[in-house]
A and B are shown apart, each in its own frame.
Chain A
């Protein structure tokens, strides 16, 4: 860890008007402090935003509003979330550990950094950490890496479970910067790595996430978040599927599918949704639709299995909603 300046923000305006370069906002600190200890993040100044009024979980007619500083555990256990947005509650409950969830905020969760071991080890190259220093994962340990959205410079997986659920739910992120406020569809928040993997989001320097809004799911929608991981707790996804499904009679009226653990950003799967909509979701139909999930997949030496695992994960998640088995 390098020496840094520490301040507490008094208001949102105060926070966003501080000089941005070298400044890091501190929410729960479960990503930031970790990366500072590893010297992956070396901010010159750390600004504690925990006293800002970015709290509250409110469910009104059009949807759900979550303050950026709400803790993962508070959101996961909130009645409006568990009843109206089960996939959101499940995605949070299957993240990290109770201790981490008690500290970690919703805004911080969306901006957590990849778990790629090369990104986290300053003794190795990493284009995301030091542009131009290379990507050892492409030839190295890449079992947990992405198969979708990768580039020749970066194959790191986006780690957030919450973001996958929010992408399926068409959530919007409200941000506040020196130039004012704006709303960003969550799908637009995350950038593909391309040739600039160090640029991960569409946020401008110093922009603060203040709130996340989630449109209500139509009545009769069932949803789930299925997370496949190497152990049963305290572990990131090898592959996950966020699915929301509404039937009309025996056919699918509307379905939303997003995947985690497989993409360089949370991955919405419109091709799978299209292949299911209007069809009776028999296992063979679902499996055939799920095959579209891996259109364009680029597996690496150790993660070829994710191509199959993703299809199976989606199939199992969809069928669990059809059968009502959960």
Chain B
């Protein structure tokens, strides 16, 4: 029997293809007769387009067509933003799609696009988040209730509870809007053939992408097939179909040739989504022994008038993280004339944890208490308000294991107490939390006569490791070697899958795959006992056992390959679906973690260096420690970006001044400290039989707070406005 690869640090099955450049991404496709699209985007922040002079572009070399609101493409609703591209002359924000040039080569399309002259009637946009805060409203959408008040008996308001608290800390926290900047820009190759449409496009949700494109082009969903075997990063920004994909598909229909459009880096900032800017006010009230009496956390998040997602900062963090007698969380949105706001890795938790976990550090300082001890003092064992326990929670172990691996005991509570040469050394910590999600997932398991198996689902591997995990899970359930399992994903024609987001892929796939494998084995058994060419013919099905790729009964056994060959079956297959799991009424479902971070700050020039980070994660069973570590490290890097570098500079006219990778800073390798990632690996079998939660996003949550807390410990400066740039420490 093949040893199960589950839980082993298996190399990526697609690794060789990626490092040798043979993994073909969307932009690597070039069907016959393909031509190139280049988008036109608005140069003003708000108004209407008076005219577009496309004559020069049309007569430029190689140009096939120019589509604009004045010569539109036939499109209906379907894509991510709440308006339909090219159907009107309204400019809703700076950088909005207002046309596409199609030409024989990429360079011709780009150069012709530069020749289009557009005149606008401009009106001033509401682009400033800070200026918009007084206009904030309570959101109607969103996946968390905007306001939650849980007050102790006899307490009439959170402010009353705060006023009655012996120790109170409060602060205002802020962070700018941020952009995903996946390495692979959004790309679409639209190829109409045989009455249908094949779209190559990097997406987190092939099936959803196909549905959106079908709606926008008024096609039957069955006519659209999305292929997305490799995705060069998504981070939430490839969960939605944006204007570029539907405009490209419509342009391909209009010119009668396959069209490829790859967004330029600046276009990815405005044609696709970004994370809200967030302002937060938080106040904590506690007793002298550290017991929380009141937690009040309000947030204002930017929301694009084009839709649709905003940072639910308190609702995803303060709402559930600590035990407190009185709790208030409140969320408002500031609607702005900016590009669409969308999901971005740990949407809500990323910003919410920055405010909450810094405020906890401030409280620990005010109480002269160790920050870890303060968190253990207020450890929640039931979900506040609902009073249900977690299916599996080992956050206390994360704190203890993390503190010991990191050497937290050496921390000095007094700021600037430790220096090495001209560098102050500081330590900080913070908690990580992320909900355990499961979305509708179908998986097909197919056993083939050649002794191999295929495991298929319309999911995506955006660098997450899903190719590998699918093969591992298949090998484990079927008891065969991994190299006999062929994973299949990234194709909307495969069994339905909600898509790769919410850190839910493995948790959704594992139980569905388990059921599908069992069903396939039942079909196999049926053949084995009923077909007279089978060595197990006539055996009692109840007595047939499947083990290590073979059926066994009464001392005889046959591998599934041999059985299928002998009985003339090319394959047997079964598809099974799992839905949201566990009994939600009785349990709460979250993953947890703790970050410990050390920083150095130069006493002359205030340069900040991260010297090391230890992170301990409680995310259930770890299917592949190698790909899981990779996910956590990538998540932590996102947190480093949040803490030190990232932020869009939105000008009053709506232009993003740093919409490129030279000016929008993300961490480079030299900025990344040694990362010590440790998994507790406690199976959460209440959540699903495989015991798996998810690891895609939790690594980000709390990193910025751990860094900011370490900066305080190093310098005595409490930076509440991100990113922490040199001028804030000088």
The answer, yes or no, to whether B143 is at the interface (CB within 8 Å) is no
Q: How far is the CB of A191 from chain B (nearest CB, A)?
A: 25
Name the A residues within 8 Å of B657 (CB-CB).
117, 140-141
Q: How far is the CB of B353 from chain A (nearest CB, A)?
A: 23
Partner of A141, one of B43, B111, B649: B649
Name the B residues within 8 Å of A233 (CB-CB).
668-671
B 508-562 contacts with A by CB, 8 A: none
Most chain A beta-carbon neighbours within 10 Å: one of B605, B645, B662, B665: B605
Partner-contacting stretch, out of B73-81, B285-293, B397-405, B722-730: B722-730
B 646-696 contacts with A by CB, 8 A: 649, 651, 655, 657-658, 662-663, 665, 667-671
The answer, yes or no, to whether A315 is at the interface (CB within 8 Å) is yes
Q: How far is the CB of A285 from chain B (nearest CB, A)?
A: 15
A 273-326 contacts with B by CB, 8 A: 304-305, 308-309, 312-313, 315-316, 319, 325
Query: For residue A226, which residue of chain B has the nearest CB?
Result: B605
Query: For residue A320, which residue of chain B has the nearest CB?
Result: B422
Whether the Cβ atoms of B651 and A313 lie closer than 8 Å is no
Whether the Cβ atoms of A313 and B665 lie closer than 8 Å is no
A228 to B133, CA, bound (A): 34
Q: With A1-B110, A2-B111, A316-B605 as known contacts, state yes or no: A115 contacts B730, CB within 8 Å.
A: no
The answer, yes or no, to whether A5 is at the interface (CB within 8 Å) is no
A56 to B726, CA, bound (A): 39
A9 to B555, CA, bound (A): 84
Whether the Cβ atoms of B658 and A228 lie closer than 8 Å is no
Whether the Cβ atoms of B111 and A325 lie closer than 8 Å is no
Whether the Cβ atoms of A231 and B107 lie closer than 8 Å is no
A2 to B644, CA, bound (A): 38
Q: With A115-B662, A231-B645 as known contacts, state yes or no: A316 contacts B111, CB within 8 Å.
A: no
A141 to B648, CA, bound (A): 11
Whether the Cβ atoms of B605 and A313 lie closer than 8 Å is yes
The answer, yes or no, to whether A243 is at the interface (CB within 8 Å) is no
Query: For residue A316, which residue of chain B has the nearest CB?
Result: B604
| B-contact 0/1 string along A1-43, CB 8 Å cutoff | 1110000000000000000000000000000000000010000
Q: With A117-B657, A309-B727 as known contacts, state yes or no: A230 contacts B665, CB within 8 Å.
A: yes
The answer, yes or no, to whether A99 is at the interface (CB within 8 Å) is no
A231 to B608, CA, bound (A): 9
Q: How far is the CB of A21 from chain B (nearest CB, A)?
A: 22
Name the B residues within 8 Å of A228 (CB-CB).
605, 607, 726
B 69-118 contacts with A by CB, 8 A: 107, 110-111, 114
The answer, yes or no, to whether B421 is at the interface (CB within 8 Å) is yes
Q: How far is the CB of B507 from chain A (nearest CB, A)?
A: 35
Partner of A312, one of B421, B604, B725: B604
Most chain B beta-carbon neighbours within 10 Å: one of A3, A141, A325: A141
Q: How far is the CB of A137 from chain B (nearest CB, A)?
A: 9
Tell me whether chain A's interface is mostly helix, strand or loop, or mixed. loop
Partner of A117, one of B422, B605, B658, B668: B658
Q: How far is the CB of A43 from chain B (nearest CB, A)?
A: 15
Name the A residues within 8 Å of B671 (CB-CB).
231-233
The answer, yes or no, to whether B609 is at the interface (CB within 8 Å) is yes
The answer, yes or no, to whether B627 is at the interface (CB within 8 Å) is no
Whether the Cβ atoms of B422 and A316 lie closer than 8 Å is yes
A 114-153 contacts with B by CB, 8 A: 115, 117, 123-124, 140-141
Name the A residues within 8 Å of B110 (CB-CB).
1
Partner of A235, one of B422, B602, B665, B725: B665
Name the A residues within 8 Å of B669 (CB-CB).
233
The answer, yes or no, to whether A163 is at the interface (CB within 8 Å) is no
Q: With A305-B727, A309-B726, A312-B730 as known contacts, state yes or no: A123 contacts B602, CB within 8 Å.
A: no
Query: For residue A122, which residue of chain B has the nearest CB?
Result: B114
Query: For residue A115, which residue of chain B has the nearest CB?
Result: B662
| A-contact 0/1 string along B100-141, CB 8 Å cutoff | 000000010011001000000000000000000000000000
Query: For residue B43, which residue of chain A has the nearest CB?
Result: A123
Q: How far is the CB of A303 from chain B (nearest CB, A)?
A: 9
Name the A residues within 8 Å of B606 (CB-CB).
309, 312
Most chain A beta-carbon neighbours within 10 Å: one of B645, B665, B727: B727
Q: With A117-B658, A141-B649, A228-B726 as known contacts, state yes or no: A309 contacts B665, CB within 8 Å.
A: no
Whether the Cβ atoms of A117 and B602 lie closer than 8 Å is no
Whether the Cβ atoms of A141 and B651 lie closer than 8 Å is yes
Q: How far is the CB of B175 from chain A (nearest CB, A)?
A: 16
Q: How far is the CB of B715 from chain A (nearest CB, A)?
A: 14
Name the B residues within 8 Å of A312 (CB-CB).
604-606, 730
Name the A residues within 8 Å of B605 (CB-CB).
226, 228, 239, 309, 312-313, 316
Name the B residues within 8 Å of A315 (CB-CB).
604
Q: How far is the CB of B368 from chain A (nearest CB, A)?
A: 32
Whether the Cβ atoms of A140 and B651 lie closer than 8 Å is yes
Partner of A309, one of B422, B644, B730: B730
The answer, yes or no, to whether A238 is at the interface (CB within 8 Å) is yes
Query: For residue B111, which residue of chain A has the nearest CB?
Result: A1
A234 to B661, CA, bound (A): 11
Query: For residue B644, which residue of chain A has the nearest CB?
Result: A231
Whether the Cβ atoms of B730 and A308 lie closer than 8 Å is yes
Query: For residue A310, which residue of chain B has the nearest CB?
Result: B605
Whether the Cβ atoms of B651 and A231 lie closer than 8 Å is no
Name the A residues within 8 Å of B668 (CB-CB).
231-235
Q: How far is the CB of A294 from chain B (nearest CB, A)?
A: 14
A140 to B670, CA, bound (A): 30
A308 to B727, CA, bound (A): 9
Partner of B726, one of A141, A238, A316: A238
Q: How far is the CB of A2 from chain B (nearest CB, A)?
A: 7
Whether the Cβ atoms of B609 and A232 lie closer than 8 Å is yes
A139 to B426, CA, bound (A): 37
A115 to B658, CA, bound (A): 11
A312 to B657, CA, bound (A): 29
Name the B residues within 8 Å of A308 (CB-CB).
730
28 A–B contact pairs at CB < 8 A? A1-B107, A1-B110, A1-B111, A3-B111, A117-B657, A123-B655, A140-B657, A228-B605, A228-B607, A228-B726, A230-B726, A231-B667, A231-B668, A232-B609, A233-B670, A234-B668, A304-B727, A309-B605, A309-B726, A309-B727, A309-B730, A312-B605, A312-B606, A313-B604, A316-B602, A316-B604, A316-B605, A319-B604
The 9 A-B residue pairs whose C-beta atoms are closest, nearest first, are A305-B727, A232-B670, A233-B670, A316-B604, A141-B657, A312-B604, A233-B668, A312-B605, A123-B43
List A residues at the B interface (Cβ < 8 Å): 1-3, 39, 115, 117, 123-124, 140-141, 226, 228, 230-235, 238-239, 304-305, 308-309, 312-313, 315-316, 319, 325
What 16 additional pairs, Cβ within 8 angstroms, besides A228-B605, A312-B605? A117-B657, A228-B726, A230-B645, A231-B665, A232-B671, A233-B669, A233-B670, A235-B665, A235-B668, A308-B730, A309-B605, A309-B606, A316-B422, A316-B602, A316-B604, A316-B605
